[in-house]
């Protein structure tokens, strides 16, 4: 294994925590460069505690948890859709850029380091050692994100408002 330039990505824009229903969305958000913690337990109280302790925004489909966030002084995004492409669209409306930006491991949320292996750019998780590279799956994800960006643009043109899900985002109480 040839290691040349070592770059550790440390600057993320926003810290999130997803509930158990949105683990797949969490993995996608990590591929988009976001710092997304896995839930530490199954209860709403555990999620609220983690979000408060680490200044993270909760992402949930649970309306009860969404309603509990202001009282706990925690920011929250309520996701309406069960389809991953629509969930990503909702997160784009909440301000997440729709571009692949590998900074976090999709499994454990650990930081990635950029490495050169056999002349190919790859990323490796500093914690679990999972390896990432720009293969066929990368191109497929790019096509999915391009379709979502196109849909978002069309939605904005139809409504005249790029923040269509604005009423599903709660700031701290």
Is residue 48 within 8 Å of 72, Cβ to Cβ? yes
Q: The whole model's pTM is what?
A: 0.81
pLDDT beyond 80 at 61: yes
Please state the domain extents for the chain. Answer: 7-170
User: How far, in Å, CA of 143 to CA of 148, rounded?
Assistant: 9
pLDDT mean over 156-173: 58
Pairing of strands 57-60, 112-117: unpaired
User: How far, in Å, CA of 56 to CA of 68, rounded?
Assistant: 15
pLDDT mean over 148-172: 68
* Band of residue 167 on the pLDDT scale cut at 50, 70, 90: very low
In the chain, what are the helix, strand and coil shares in percent, each to the nearest 5?
Answer: 40, 20, 40
Tens of pLDDT, residues 93-144: 888 999 999 899 999 999 999 998 888 889 999 999 999 998 888 899 999 9
Residue 15 phi, psi (nearest 5): -100, 130
The pLDDT of residue 81: 95
The pLDDT of residue 8: 34
Tens of pLDDT, residues 8-46: 333 435 799 999 999 999 999 999 999 999 888 889 999
State the Rg of the chain over Cα: 17
More confident residue, 161 or 8: 161
């Amino acid at each position: 294994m040839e290691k040349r330039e070592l770059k550790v990505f440390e600057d993320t824009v926003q810290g999130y925590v997803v509930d158990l229903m949105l683990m797949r969305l969490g993995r996608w958000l990590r591929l988009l460069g976001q710092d997304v913690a896995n839930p530490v337990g199954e209860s709403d109280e555990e999620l609220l505690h983690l979000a408060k302790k680490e200044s993270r925004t909760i992402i949930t489909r649970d309306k009860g948890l969404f309603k509990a966030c202001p009282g706990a002084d925690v920011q929250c995004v309520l996701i309406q859709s069960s389809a991953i492409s629509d969930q990503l669209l909702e997160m784009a409306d909440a301000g997440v850029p729709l571009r692949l930006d590998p900074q976090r491991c999709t499994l454990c949320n650990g930081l990635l380091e950029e490495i050169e292996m056999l002349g190919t750019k790859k990323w490796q998780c500093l914690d679990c050692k999972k390896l990432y590279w720009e293969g066929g799956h990368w191109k497929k994800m790019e096509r999915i994100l391009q379709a979502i960006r196109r849909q978002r643009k069309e939605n904005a043109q139809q409504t005249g408002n790029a923040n269509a899900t604005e009423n599903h985002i709660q700031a701290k109480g």
